[in-house]
Amino acid sequence: MSANTRIPSPDQLEKVDSWGMQTSCISSVFRPSLPEQISDIFQTALAAQQNIALRGAGCSYGDASLNAENIILDFTRMNRILAWNPQTGEITVEPGVTLEQLWKYCIGDGWWPPVVSGTMRVTMGGAAGMNYHGKNNFKAGPVGDHILKFQLLLPTGELLHCSREENSDIFFAAIGGFGMLGCFTSITMQMKKIYSGMLEVYAFATNNFAHIIQEFEKRIPQADYLVGWIDCFAKGKELGRGQVHEAHYLQQGEDPFAMQTLRIEKQELPDSLFGILPKSIIWRLMKPIAHPVGIQLLNMLKYKASATLGNHKTIHQSHAAFAFLLDYVPNWKNAYLPGGLIQYQSFIPEQNAEECFKAQIELCQRRKMVPWLGVFKKHRKDDFLMSHAVNGYSLALDLRVTERNREALWQMAQDLNKIVLAYGGRFYFAKDSTLTSTDAEAFLGRDAIEKFESIKRRCDPHNLLQSNLSRRLFPLLNVVETVQPHVSETAL
C-alpha cells in the first residue's frame, strides 16, 4: 500500500465473521505489513469519512473486531519478532505475531508466555487489546501485567511510547482498551523461565459449585494453573458438578529430559486419534450428537469418566497440550453451525460466586437453553482501566445460537446480566455479544468510562477508531464530529 491508498470499490468488500459465527459484517479490509502504511490508511479513512476497527486474528467471540460498512485494519501480516534476549526473556513483537509464533520461538531457549489464552491463534495486538487472562489469572494476573512497554500509533499520526513510567495513563487504558485509542505497533513482554517442556497435571472430579470453590481455595497457594470444567446439565445437589485440572511447573533439575521436552515437536499432539482418525474430521463426527440430548449425554459421560477412571490422576502433559487443548480439534466450533455460538462469561466476587453461578445455570435450565460447555476459573483484580477481573471466579458458558432460539437467547442473556450485576459481577468484551450500554456502565462505573472517554478524546479526536462493539456499548465514546458511521449489521 502506498500514499495513494484507496478505499476499495464495492466489489472489493469482504464479509468478516465474528469468531462465534453468529454475526458478521461487510467491510473494506486492509492488511498493512509496515507501520507507515497504517498512517496512510488513517488519512485515507478520514478523507473518505469512514471509521476503522482494528483486528488481530478475529478470535473475539462477538463483534469486537467487526465494523459494518466501514474499514477493518487486519494486523496479521505485521508478524515479525523484532527483538529477543534469551538471557533475560524479554521479547519485542509486532502486533500480528500470534501466541503460537511466540511460544514456538522461545521454548527452545527455556521460556514460555507467562499468560496464555485458551487458543494459540490469537495475535499479541489482540491479546493486549483485550488484556486476556489464562488459567493462572489468580497468580499471574492478565497478560498486561507482563507487558513492559509498547508503541501506540495514534489516529493523529503520533507514535507514543508507553510504559508504567511513560504515558502511564494511556498504558493502563490501551491495554484492555478494545482498540479504541490507537494501534499497538510493537509490544515488549517479559516471558516466563521454564525448566521443562512438561507440566505436572493432577485431575479430579468435584460434586457441585460449593465443592469446586472449596477445592480451588485450598489449592490456590500451591497451584500454578487451575481450571474447572462444569457439566451445566446437572441439577439439584449436583448443580455445578465437574472436573478440576491443577498444574505445576517442574523446577530446575526435576525433568531429566528437559533438553528434549523443550523441543517444539514434543509439544505438539499427533494429527490423528488412535493413529488412524484425522483430527480434522472430528467436528463432523460430533455433528450427529450436536443437539441438546446428545450433548447432555456427552456431558454426563464425561463427568462419569472423570469421577471414576480419571479421578485423582496425575500425569505429565506438555505446556501446549495443557494450554491449547481445544486447538487440537480443528474447527470444533463448526459443530455449532448453522447458527454459531455465543460465549457468556461473567466474573463474580468470591463471596457471591456460588449463589450467582447456581442462579445462572438454573435460569438456563428453566429456559431450556443449557450451555454445552462450562469453564470455571479463579481471578484477581488488576490495575487496568477497563478491566474485567474481580477477586473471585468466572464461569464461561458456550451457548448454541439457532434461527429459532436467537430472540429467546438474547432475552435470557439480558436476564443473566441482571443476575450478574445484582451480585456485583463484571463482563469481558472479548466474549461479549449481548450486553447493552446500560450494563457496561453498571459494571465499569461512570468514573472509569469518563476517564476512558477523556483519554480517547486526546488520542483519537476524530473518533476514527470504532467497532460494532464500541457503538453497541459506548455510544457516547463514538459521538461523531467529522466521521459519520453507518451502524448496520448483518445477522446470520
Ligand X SMILES: Cc1cc2nc3c(=O)[nH]c(=O)nc-3n(C[C@H](O)[C@H](O)[C@H](O)COP(=O)(O)OP(=O)(O)OC[C@H]3O[C@@H](n4cnc5c(N)ncnc54)[C@H](O)[C@@H]3O)c2cc1C
**Residue labelled with grid coordinates 499468560:** 115
For 385-415, give the secondary structure using H, E and C.
Answer: CCCCCCCEEEEEEEEECCCCCHHHHHHHHHH
Per-position DSSP letters for 332-344, written without gaps between them: GGGGGTTT-EEEE
C-alpha distances in Å from residue 277, one per residue of 271, 273, 280, 282: 8, 5, 9, 8
Please give the residues from 345 up to 374 whose contact with ligand X meets the rule CB under 6 A. none
| Spatial separation of the C-alpha atoms in residues 33 and 14, rounded to whole Å | 19
Please say which residue, 129 or 240, places its beta carbon nearer to ligand X: 129
The number of residues that bind ligand X (CB under 6 A) is: 33
Q: Which of 53, 247, 442, 459 binds ligand X (CB under 6 A)?
A: 53
Please give the residues from 89 up to 128 whose contact with ligand X meets the rule CB under 6 A. 95, 117-119, 122-123, 125-127
Name the 3-class secondary structure at 155. coil
Please give the residues from 434 up to 473 whose contact with ligand X meets the rule CB under 6 A. 467
Stretch that binds ligand X, among 49-57, 164-172, 198-206, 474-482 (CB under 6 A): 49-57
| φ, ψ dihedrals at 166, nearest 5° | -110, 130
| φ, ψ dihedrals at 46, nearest 5° | -60, -45
By the rule CB under 6 A, 320 interacts with ligand X: no
User: Smallest distance from the beta carbon of 255 to ligand X, in angstroms?
Assistant: 26
User: Smallest distance from the beta carbon of 5 to ligand X, in angstroms?
Assistant: 18
Please say which residue, 37 or 208, places its beta carbon nearer to ligand X: 37
Stretch that binds ligand X, among 54-62, 190-198, 418-426, 450-458 (CB under 6 A): 54-62
Q: Torsion angle of alpha carbons 446, 450, 451, 455, nearest 10°?
A: 150
∠ CA 462-466-468, rounded to 5°: 150
Sheet holding 426-427, edge to edge: 313-318, 198-206, 242-249, 225-230, 373-379, 392-400, 341-349, 426-427
By the rule CB under 6 A, 430 interacts with ligand X: yes
User: Smallest distance from the beta carbon of 327 to ligand X, in angstroms?
Assistant: 8
User: Smallest distance from the beta carbon of 436 to ligand X, in angstroms?
Assistant: 18
Q: Which of 7, 55, 372, 459 binds ligand X (CB under 6 A)?
A: 55
User: Smallest distance from the beta carbon of 384 to ligand X, in angstroms?
Assistant: 12
User: Smallest distance from the beta carbon of 86 to ligand X, in angstroms?
Assistant: 25
Distance of CA 153 to the CA centre of its chain: 23
Closest residue by Cα to residue 267 from 323, 218, 336: 323
Q: Which of 172, 184, 322, 443 binds ligand X (CB under 6 A)?
A: 184
Stretch that binds ligand X, among 178-186, 217-225, 305-313, 482-490 (CB under 6 A): 178-186
CB 372 within 8 A of CB 253: no
Q: Which of 22, 27, 56, 353 binds ligand X (CB under 6 A)?
A: 56
Q: Torsion angle of alpha carbons 362, 392, 315, 317, nearest 10°?
A: 110
Please say which residue, 64 or 342, places its beta carbon nearer to ligand X: 64
Residues 6+ apart with CB under 8 A from 296: 233, 370
- The one-letter amino acid at 367: R
Please say which residue, 241 or 379, places its beta carbon nearer to ligand X: 379
User: Smallest distance from the beta carbon of 130 to ligand X, in angstroms?
Assistant: 3
User: Smallest distance from the beta carbon of 116 to ligand X, in angstroms?
Assistant: 8
User: Smallest distance from the beta carbon of 350 to ligand X, in angstroms?
Assistant: 19
Binding site for ligand X (CB under 6 A): 19, 53-60, 64-65, 75, 95, 117-119, 122-123, 125-127, 129-130, 132-134, 178-179, 183-184, 326, 430, 467
